[in-house]
Structure 1
């Protein structure tokens, strides 16, 4: 273990806020007496390779400077290693930081939190979700911190990611309207823990290690990141009118009171549905079937 801190930077986060935030964050750490180096990759794979090399080399901490996408990438490097993670949240949604009470879009303050936590040896032990493909599913296991989304919300993401116009978050508003027009229930096969598989029709199924996604939508309202369980929010079949009534309640976290919404708690969830992509921490991880399991204490977060 060295005394060096590694800043893991996404220069494009928040329309360039990531690059601008690296300076104040590094300044706060250096002012506290820490040596700082940066890892900036040519692409996601290159950046992750650099982060993993820093962790393997014994960096004292990995500090993600960017949005939820970069935090998700950082989790792939630090999960289960004991290397603590710091977060300087300067992206668009910043759900991971919000859920954990960390500064948002204030890189100097976030850097100061990380520096103080390192100086005091203060971390919080958190669970992470670990996702694997279903029988014969491709791809390596992937870690996530907040929510594994599938259904209507993931289809909005699919459509938004294919669109080139309009830009910014408005693109996803347009994508949502288009998906509303095509709204139809999805037939899932679901199993919680060791129970038998069951079939159900739903608009979406969200598996929450943390409570929110999409920039403050509290889809899994009561999910805690340290209880060893997921909160699984199932929005059943509903009309466009009903979905539009339920949707605003997600921001307040009051939607579980609606008859179309049910919540389950489990440490392991298996999901299968045809033509549905899973998104974890806002990042596409592949088509269902997928299996998610909680891993208690997989992350040490600097707070």
Structure 2
């Protein structure tokens, strides 16, 4: 039996509309299921834990955006119960769906989940007692994630189906005032000390922030994370180069350096805000460990 965790307010109410479609389809097909709906931020994790206490649940489906995905996967991680994970996108960014080529149409996504014959096992990123499955970021992108999630214009943009622009506007807003700092990064046994660091992104898939191709070559099941470090650049040169990130062409910019590794430690001269899948996850110093092929997803 499948358990569904639904965030009704994701995508400015799209979650509720998507669930209405799904529920009607499930009933018409006489599919047995459990459903729990969130009523506040952060609740999806505990709901996933509660659903997994039902011994007949073999898979959990998150209906919402990347924040809901993160919470549900953390619930699976905390419960230590083996189960498959499915996702039906209903958020503004939907990077997990993009990164794994999941259908955007709710009924098509449900059909693939119900078939259950296509699965893959992916890595997860472990940090601070939690996990991320898309990316972890420190510095400017951590501050951007916090700013975008709090912005009033995000809800308005979601209403007109332009929610991804919230991240773009947040980047411009934060970049105008953010101050880079010195950072030491240890990737496996290699240490890099860098000055004037704007951000460090640790990626399990290619995109974050609603389609920004931060690490275009990231592979979610190779046991390694791709790391992008942006440093030694002026504020205005970054603003001019920023559009390149949507096509991945920033990889040729002299301010961007790329690494791969399975254990990444980030220390900075002053605390840098850290995000995990776009949600606030503390400040530096942090260590991110790649747990290889830890989560089975229905794709």
Could you tell me the TM-score, scaled by structure 2's length?
Answer: 0.89
The one of 27, 32, 35 aligned to 1:35 = 32
Count, aligned residues: 288
In the TM superposition, what whole-angstrom CA distance separates every residue of 1:90-143 from its partner, at most 9, and x where no partner exists?
Answer: 110000011001012x111111111112xx3x31110111112xxxxxxxx111
Match of 2:60 among 48, 59, 62: 62
- Unmatched tracts of structure 1, length 5 or more: 133-140
Matching of residues 28-177 of structure 1 within 5 Å: 28-30=25-27, 33-58=30-55, 59-79=57-77, 81-104=81-104, 106-117=105-116, 120=117, 122-132=118-128, 141-164=129-152, 167-168=156-157, 169=163, 172-177=167-172
- Cα offsets for 1:249-289 (capped at 9, x unmatched): 11111211111111000001011222311111111111111
- For 1:200 and 1:29, locate their aligned partners in 2 and report how far apart those are by CA, in whole Å: 55
Are the aligned partners of 2:14 and 2:91 in contact in 1 as well (CA < 8 Å)? yes
Q: 1:199 to 1:238 in 2, by over 3 A?
A: closer
Q: Which residue of 1 aligns with 2:210?
A: 215
* 1: CA distance, partners of 2:166 / 2:61: 30
Matches within 5 A, 1:145-294: 145-164=133-152, 167-168=156-157, 169=163, 172-196=167-191, 198-273=193-268, 274-294=270-290
Q: Distance in 2 between matches of 1:173 and 1:195?
A: 33
**Offset at 1:222?**
0.5
In 2: Cα distance, 1:51 partner to 1:224 partner: 26
Aligned equivalent of 2:160? none
Query: Does the CA contact (< 8 Å) of 2:4 and 2:33 recur in 1?
Result: yes
User: Aligned Cα RMSD in Å?
Assistant: 2.1
Q: Is the 8 A contact 2:146 2:279 kept in 1?
A: no
TM-score (structure 1 length as normaliser): 0.87
Moved more, 217-226 or 155-164: 155-164
Q: Which residue of 2 aligns with 1:136?
A: none
Give a deviation string over 1:177-205, Cα, whole Å, max 9, x none: 33232243221121111334634431111
CA distance in 2, matches of 1:70, 1:109: 20
User: In 2, distance between residues paired with 1:165 and 1:29?
Assistant: 35
Partner of 1:298: 294
Say which SS state the counterpart of residue 112 (structure 1) adopts: helix
Measured in 2, the distance between the counterparts of 1:297 and 1:180 equals: 35
